[in-house]
């Protein structure tokens, strides 16, 4: 089984880290392929960058020239998952939703601890749309920027653990979701300090994607996520260097998209 995991920003080191983390929890026999968008922001911390990422992720997936069995969008609170679901015949899993879903099996309420305060409403909105916010006690910001998680790891741990502690004591969270792709290493530390389960979205998404594939389940195509209708689309994929799609890859791609792409 091959799972594509797509970073939402253009920072290759983060793509690498996400890929490693995904491979670590993957089942034997699962190959993880980590992709970086060809355009977009070096970190995604707002709607402008998130919308660029939505298209950047779709571009990266559609330009990938090999067959694959599932796609994970590895951005916390980002736009775009629904577009991928239309374009592909294989399951698509967003890490925000994967983490929330896992957390709900573990405690009565969960909280998300994320990076900057400005990311909070995006995450809240994504959970609301996904119908997974009813048992969300809070989304809290550590005040650390995405890239600072790499450059100031110690301060990041401290800030995140502090907010996780408040989520448990003030907001009555019983589980913490790490609200950013770059936070994966912090699991153990937070669990030790707060005493509650800590869910990493990438890890959760890998097992969910594997499960759906194993069960032969994929996106319903009857309405919301039906393939795009055949029509003229200009300028996508953006670079013009669309790699030849293999036959297997086409199996992944919703049929009518073939026509879309030919026209573009």
85 binds a second copy (CB under 8 A): yes
Residues 131-160 within binding reach of a second copy (CB under 8 A): 131-135, 145
Of the residues 35, 93, 180, 183, which one makes contact with a second copy according to CB under 8 A: 93
Q: Is residue 55 part of the contact set for a second copy (CB under 8 A)?
A: yes
Residues 99-138 within binding reach of a second copy (CB under 8 A):
101-102, 104-109, 117-118, 120-122, 125, 128-135
Residue of 8, 5, 11, 52 lying closest to 148 (CA atoms)? 11
Binding flag, residue 181, a second copy (CB under 8 A)? no
Choice from 7, 8, 10, 148 touching a second copy (CB under 8 A): 10
Q: Is 218 in the site for a second copy (CB under 8 A)?
A: yes
Please give the Cα distance from 26 to 11 (Å, whole number).
Answer: 23
Q: Is 46 in the site for a second copy (CB under 8 A)?
A: yes
Instruction: Please tell me the count of residues contacting a second copy according to CB under 8 A.
Output: 90
The nearer residue to a second copy, 34 or 213, going by C-beta atoms, is: 213
For residue 107, which phi and psi values (nearest 5 degrees)? Answer: -160, 170
DSSP assignment of 143-164: S--TTHHHH-HHHHHHHHHHHH
Structure tokens at 200: 């990493």
Does 8 sit near a second copy (CB under 8 A)?
A: no
Q: What are phi and psi of 6, to 5 degrees?
A: -110, 120
Which of 154, 175, 153, 155 is closest to 164 using CA atoms? 175
Site string for a second copy, 190-209 (x = CB under 8 A): -----xxx-x---xx--xx-
- Give the pairing type, strands 92-94 and 70-74: parallel
Enter the tokens of residue 199: 């869910």
């Amino acid at each position: 089984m091959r799972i594509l995991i797509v970073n939402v920003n253009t920072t290759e080191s983060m793509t690498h880290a996400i890929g490693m983390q995904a491979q670590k929890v993957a089942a034997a026999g699962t190959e993880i392929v980590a992709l970086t968008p060809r355009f977009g922001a070096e970190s995604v911390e707002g709607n402008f960058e998130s919308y660029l990422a939505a298209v950047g992720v779709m571009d990266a997936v559609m330009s990938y020239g090999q067959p694959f069995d599932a796609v994970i969008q590895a951005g916390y609170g980002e736009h775009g998952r629904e577009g991928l679901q239309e374009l592909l015949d294989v399951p698509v899993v967003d890490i925000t939703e994967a983490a929330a879903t896992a957390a709900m099996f573990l405690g009565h309420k969960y909280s998300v601890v994320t990076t900057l305060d400005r990311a909070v409403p995006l995450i809240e909105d994504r959970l609301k749309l996904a119908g997974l916010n009813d048992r969300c006690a809070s989304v809290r910001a550590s005040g650390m920027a995405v890239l600072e998680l790499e450059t100031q790891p110690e301060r990041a741990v401290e800030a995140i653990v502090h907010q996780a502690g408040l989520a448990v004591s003030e907001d009555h969270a019983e589980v913490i979701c790490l609200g950013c792709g770059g936070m994966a290493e912090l699991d153990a530390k937070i669990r030790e300090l707060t005493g509650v389960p800590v869910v990493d979205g990438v890890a959760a998404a890998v097992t969910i994607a594997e499960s759906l594939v194993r069960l032969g389940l994929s996106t319903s195509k009857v309405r919301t996520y039906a393939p795009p209708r055949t029509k003229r689309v200009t300028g996508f994929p953006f670079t013009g260097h669309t790699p030849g799609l293999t036959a297997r890859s086409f199996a992944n791609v919703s049929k009518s998209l073939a026509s879309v792409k030919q026209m573009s």
